[in-house]
């Protein structure tokens, strides 16, 4: 019942305006992907970590992790294709934790909760409640409000029984591109549980997220 972590790092970071993709940039001196990798590789229940990277990202991965990389393989044009390719490259495992490289701050307690939840369902994801008011806002003009009660913000890692998520990806035939793997698992009819996520687990997406993360780290260290 081997637990393998799959880090997807093949994005080009278009929302950050070009340059080195966000997952290879440093936060307080340490590359984002190295923080995610360390959190997974150092967890006692995680047996191996596989990384999916984009075309011509080999040098960036080597700069970030050096010879600590266990295995890696090429990603695809979308996050979904990158995950599928990574699962195919891993081939077999008992359980898999699929994680965005762009989420560097991953508490061990979240991994514990996810793995425990797999005893009760085929999948588990970390989620946080929505605290802000939600409203449609196209072109900056407000439309209808969306009831926030019962909604959740979804994070990664997302944990699955390996054979189930591999088959779900192979059979995916949805129209809209899924932005996470729980959607793929649910489309295949699997039960997916939500466990408490963590505010630290936010995805670094925009330039300002880097400054905010460094400020938080600084506040913790002083």
Smaller CB distance to ligand C5P: residue 76 or 121?
A: 76
Sole window of 38-46, 71-79, 134-142, 169-177 interacting with ligand C5P (rule: CB under 6 A): 71-79
What burial class does residue 153 get, using C-beta atoms within 10 Å of its C-beta: 0-12 exposed, 13-18 middle, 19+ buried?
middle
Distant-in-sequence, close-in-space partners of 171: CB < 8 Å, separation ≥ 6: 188
Is residue 23 close enough to count as binding ligand C5P by CB under 6 A?
Answer: yes
Residue nearest to ligand C5P (CB): 11
CA distances from 133 to 144, 150, 151 (A): 11, 13, 11
Is residue 75 close enough to count as binding ligand C5P by CB under 6 A?
Answer: yes
Smaller CB distance to ligand C5P: residue 107 or 116?
A: 107
Q: Which of 1, 2, 16 is nearest to 207 (CA)?
A: 16
Q: Shortest approach of ligand C5P to residue 12 CB, angstroms?
A: 7
Number of residues that bind ligand C5P (CB under 6 A): 18
Cβ–Cβ < 8 Å for 160, 181: yes
Of residues 154 through 213, those in contact with ligand C5P by CB under 6 A are: 179, 203, 205
For 49, phi then psi, to 5°, come to -130, 125
Is residue 76 close enough to count as binding ligand C5P by CB under 6 A?
Answer: yes
How far from each other are the two terminal CA atoms of the chain, in whole angstroms? 41
Sole window of 39-47, 72-80, 121-129, 161-169 interacting with ligand C5P (rule: CB under 6 A): 72-80
Name the site residues for ligand C5P (rule: CB under 6 A): 8-11, 23, 52, 75-79, 82, 100-102, 179, 203, 205
């Amino acid at each position: 019942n081997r637990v393998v972590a799959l880090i997807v790092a093949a994005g080009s970071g278009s929302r950050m305006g070009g340059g080195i993709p966000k997952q290879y940039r440093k936060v307080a001196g340490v590359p984002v992907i190295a923080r995610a990798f360390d959190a997974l590789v150092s967890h006692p229940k995680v047996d191996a970590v596989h990384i999916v990277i984009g075309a011509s990202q080999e040098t960036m991965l080597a700069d970030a992790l050096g010879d600590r990389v266990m295995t890696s393989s090429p990603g695809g044009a979308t996050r979904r294709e990158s995950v599928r390719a990574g699962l195919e490259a891993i081939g077999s495992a008992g359980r898999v934790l699929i994680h965005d490289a762009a989420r560097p701050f991953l508490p061990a307690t979240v991994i514990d909760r996810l793995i425990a939840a797999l005893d009760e369902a085929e999948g588990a994801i970390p989620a946080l409640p929505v605290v802000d008011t939600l409203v449609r806002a196209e072109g900056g003009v407000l439309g209808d409000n969306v009831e926030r009660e019962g909604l959740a913000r979804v994070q990664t890692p997302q944990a699955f029984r390996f054979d189930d998520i591999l088959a779900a990806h192979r059979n995916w035939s949805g129209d809209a591109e899924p932005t996470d793997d729980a959607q793929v698992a649910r489309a295949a009819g699997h039960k997916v549980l939500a466990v408490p996520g963590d505010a630290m687990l936010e995805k670094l997406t925009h330039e300002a997220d880097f400054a905010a993360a460094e400020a938080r780290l600084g506040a913790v260290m002083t």
